[in-house]
Amino acid sequence: MIEETFSIYHWEYYLIVLVRVMGAMAFAPIFGNINVSRRARLFIGIAITYAMVAVHPYEPIEYTTFLEYSIILIKELIVGLTMGFTANITLSIINMAGQFMDREMGFSMVSSFDANFGTETTITAQFYEMLVMVIMLTTNMHYFIISALADSFVLIPVGNVVVDNGKLYDVMLEYITSYFVIALRISIPMVIATILVSVILGVLAKTAPQMNMFVVGFQLKIFTGFAVIFVTLQFLPTVTNYVYEQMQLVIEQIMNVFMVS
């Protein structure tokens, strides 16, 4: 339980915990969604901070000046932002896979504005991203963010954050490399199907040159794309679980970056 006697040192400790939690909430999946209002996000952050302080009681923070305390706050903010950002960018693997599919179907020009990332995205990408979000909510996967925050205070005690730029660069470089590979693997059925359609159209163009293959091919690729999406939707929970495992892995690696060696 939280101690009944408060002092300025207790409030400083709570502020440090709040900074890490709010940093994660700013970008974390579901919590950091643009549709979640700032007031709701602040309320959730304060509630989670209260829970974290209840689990991890006050411990004296070693600092002597206001500048040192500010540096501690900045480091805690970096930890929270990095955790939330890496968890959020993991979900964008689904978005990229959907864009690969739309490029093969000829839907790459049919785009809309994605408020979460501030960029243009395709309709299939948004469709898959929303489905994954729904699966995460219904299977309580969003609790992993809270669990990861709780574990971070065990692995990275408050005030003992060490930022290793070299390790962080290596982790992010390895992750970005895997990012494209995973997105391509998810979109492979669509790529193979459209390649087969292109081969068939090429054969038909040779055997029946009087046919307008451009018009036929465009409609056939769209029909094939919808058929592939319909067939592969049953595997979306498996894909979501795989992306969730990747999220766990990258957050664990990020925690190791900030741990005291």
Token reading at 50: 């209260």
Residue closest to 189 by CA, chosen among 220, 221, 231, 219: 231
Q: How confident is the model at residue 214 (pLDDT cuts 50, 70, 90)?
A: low
Q: Does residue 2 surpass a pLDDT of 50? A: no
Token reading at 67: 């500048």
Backbone φ and ψ of 119, nearest 5°: -135, 170
Token reading at 247: 């999220």
Residue closest to 129 by CA, chosen among 106, 112, 105: 112
Q: How confident is the model at residue 1 (pLDDT cuts 50, 70, 90)?
A: very low
Alpha helices in the chain, H assignment, sequence order? 8-27, 38-55, 66-105, 123-138, 143-155, 165-207, 213-232, 236-258
CA distance 104 to 219: 12
How far apart, in Å, are the Cα atoms of 258 and each of 165, 255, 261?
9, 5, 9
Tell me, what's the pLDDT at 229? 86
Tell me, what's the pLDDT at 117? 62
Token reading at 69: 């305390």
Tell me, what's the pLDDT at 59? 74
pLDDT tens digit sequence for 243-258: 888 888 888 887 777 7
Q: Does residue 68 surpass a pLDDT of 60? A: yes
Q: Does residue 259 surpass a pLDDT of 50? A: yes
Are the CB atoms for 63 and 69 separated by under 8 Å? yes
For range 118-143, the mean pLDDT: 79
Which positions ≥6 away from 63 have C-beta within 8 Å?
69, 72, 159
Are the CB atoms for 89 and 180 separated by under 8 Å? no
For range 188-217, the mean pLDDT: 78
CA distance 81 to 161: 13
Are the CB atoms for 109 and 139 separated by under 8 Å? no
Tell me, what's the pLDDT at 76? 85
CA distance 231 to 225: 10
CA distance 181 to 108: 20
CA distance 45 to 86: 18
> Where are the chain's structural domains?
8-258
